[in-house]
Amino acid sequence: MTASYYLVGVGGSGSKAVEAYTHLAAAGLGPEETWVAFVDPDQANGNLSRSQATVGRYRKAHGKLRNAKTHSLGSECPLLRTNLVVPRNGGVWSPVPEGVGNAQELFRYAAMTPEARRLMDSLYLPDVEQKMPLDHGFRGRPSLGAAVIVAQSTDSDPFWQDLFQALESAREGRDIRIFMVGSIFGGTGAAGFPVLARLMRRRIEDRIKTQKDSSVRIGGALYLPYFRFPGPIEEDGVVYARSEAFLEQAQAALKYYSNLYSQGDKPFDQLYLLGWPQLIGLDSHATGGDLQQNPPLLPELYGALAALRFFHADGAGVGSPVFSSIGYTHGDSGSDTISWRDLPEVVPTEPATTDTVKHRVAQLLRAAFVYTRIYGPLLDLARVDGIARQAWYRRLVRDAGVDIKGDEAQAVLRATHDYYTEVLRWFATIARKSSAPGLKVNLIDPSSFADNATQADGLVQLHDSLDKVHKQQFSQIVSETSARGLPDIFEELAFMPPPADTQRFGVFHQALYQACRV
């Protein structure tokens, strides 16, 4: 049975998991197509903006290099394999309508009967929660978020319309899989998660019940607390999310889920709970808006891997409970280390020893390095004459019919460069920022291409230039792997036959990708 896949990131952590999913899709670990969307009341949230931008860059690169009429990678090539579909409205649903400032305005408190007011006052603190500005999310108040989401999820909303339209366009007999990912300890994720799952299941089943043989399976990944940030100074009447409260909120939420499942109400066919042994310290915290651009962290990659496992599982695998604990290695130095062995495979039936995730991610990362740091800049208009007679260029670019000085070819170059740059910055940030005291992340060594300093978007910046030492370090950027170096790649590009089933710029890009295998 063919399937349609839908991924929904709820809240800031959820949107960052979608960001991670995008990069795994680029590495060829995803299905043919995935519909992606976000749920966040704070549409200006920096985390959400960055994830949307990442999806946008991916889609642009995918559109340029997966176009059967122009430039095309081979159908079997894993690079940029998944078609990420974004709904017409941009794929973001905000449960807080524009122009609504706080909960009192949203629920029309002023127009309520005295009894209704008393009820609301007893549920939500009148001067704090009811008047808390909602434009930056629910700030660690899931009870408020749940009420808002239920009240606002109407069929007239473009987000829901798009979702149902996408689902209905899936032909009869399709297996529909929806995966939601968010945090259990924040505001939006904790509030929206169970509510959205229940709403979706109910509405989808109502909508498609006439379609025979279709089945809807909903999976989810919930983050337990995995980061902490220095608390902001509290001003009168302003509510902030505090990381000190995360553990208590998570505990309460887990009890809620426990009760839910013990009563037989299972909004999810499969639910992943993702915990982390050490809270990862973030340098700063903003309450929302575009200032809230937290760096990507390794647990978000696990969330994306959970989504992929759910998508790749067979029908029986989805319905069965999974209890799994990711181990990590106790290093000689006394600190624990997370390495490639600790990442689960995305095909549940595949043994962990196949290392598919490691190989695909490493290949993507290496290709991104080689393209953005070495070959891409040489294909720029101003520099291409200098390499025009070299064998790799003649065989893989010129003879493939690429008019390198044409606008179209240069647009492909820019789109690929932009996305690959994002890949490097994202993985470098994961490597730099995910380690906590006593727990070291040892997946890649970004010292040959990235600085320590983060930019405004929460990602580390890349080195301005590439010196000889950096080039020599290239073969060691993937930890625990002795991969081929840049000279081997240069030679392979000079000699390898053009990859089959490729067109124009797809020839060079696939050749480069293949040469970067580990």
Partner 1 sequence: MKDRRKFVRVLGVVAVHLVVGFTAYYAWHMIQSEMMWRIINESYLNAGPQAASRIAAAASAQLAAAGFWVWLLTATSGTGWVVYSCFTQIYDPREVGGHSVVWGTLFVAGLLASGIAAYYMLNFAGPAYLVDTAALGFTVFAIGWMFVGYWLLSGLLFTWRPLRPAVLLGPLVPW
What lies within 8 Å, CB to CB, of 378 at 6+ separation is: 384, 386, 387
CA distances from 435 to 72, 244, 282, 361 (A): 39, 20, 11, 19
Place of tokens 């295998």: 517
Residue 369 in the binding site for partner 1 (CB under 8 A): no
Q: Do residues 30 and 82 make contact, with C-beta atoms less than 8 angstroms apart?
A: yes
Least Å distance, CB 491 to partner 1, is 7
Shortest Cβ 408–partner 1 spacing (Å): 23
Give dist(CA 248, CA 244) in Å, integer: 8
Q: Which is nearer to partner 1, 151 or 391 (CB)?
A: 391
Q: Is 494 in the site for partner 1 (CB under 8 A)?
A: yes
Q: Is 289 in contact with 44 (CB distance < 8 Å)?
A: yes
Report in angstroms the alpha-carbon separations of 467 from 172, 392, 470: 56, 22, 5
What DSSP letter does each residue of 52-64 carry, written as one string?
HHHHHHHHHHHHH
Kindly identify the residues of this chain, within the stretch 42-101, that bind partner 1 according to CB under 8 A. none
The correct pick among 402, 477, 486, 512 for binding partner 1 (CB under 8 A) is 486
Per-residue binder mask for partner 1 (CB under 8 A), 446-475, x = binder: ----------------------x--xx-x-
Q: Which of 159, 375, 427, 508 binds partner 1 (CB under 8 A)?
A: 375
Q: Which of residues 198 and 471 has its CB atom nearest to partner 1 in the complex?
A: 471
Contact between 108 and partner 1 by CB under 8 A: the answer reads no
Instruction: Find the shortest distance in angstroms from Cβ 391 to partner 1.
Output: 5
Contact with partner 1 (CB under 8 A) among 281, 341, 490, 517: 490
Candidate list 101, 158, 327, 487; residue touching partner 1; CB under 8 A: 487
Reading phi first (left if > 0) and then psi (alpha if -120 to 50, else beta), residue 334 is in left
Dihedral sign, CA of 49, 53, 55, 56? positive
Q: Is there binding between residue 518 and partner 1 (CB under 8 A)?
A: no
CA dihedral 447, 450, 451, 455 (to 10 degrees): -160
Residues 391-410 that bind partner 1 (CB under 8 A): 391-393
Residues 167, 208: contact at Cβ < 8 Å? yes
Judge whether 148 and 96 are in contact, CB under 8 Å. Answer: yes
* Residues that contact partner 1, how many (by CB under 8 A): 21
CA distance 143 to 128: 13
Q: Is 432 within 8 Å of 450 (Cβ atoms)?
A: yes
Closest distance of CB 488 from partner 1, Å = 9
The answer to whether 321 and 254 are in contact (CB under 8 A) is: no
Report if residue 496 touches partner 1, rule: CB under 8 A. no
Smallest separation, CB 504 to partner 1 (Å): 20
Least separation in angstroms between residue 450's CB and partner 1 is 19
Q: Decide whether 341 or 471 has the Cβ nearer to partner 1.
A: 471
Q: Kindly tell me which residue out of 99, 155, 389, 465 binds partner 1, with binding defined by CB under 8 A.
A: 389
Total Cβ atoms within 10 A of residue 120 = 18
The contact set with partner 1 (CB under 8 A) reads 374-375, 378, 386-387, 389-393, 468, 471-472, 474, 485-487, 490-491, 494-495
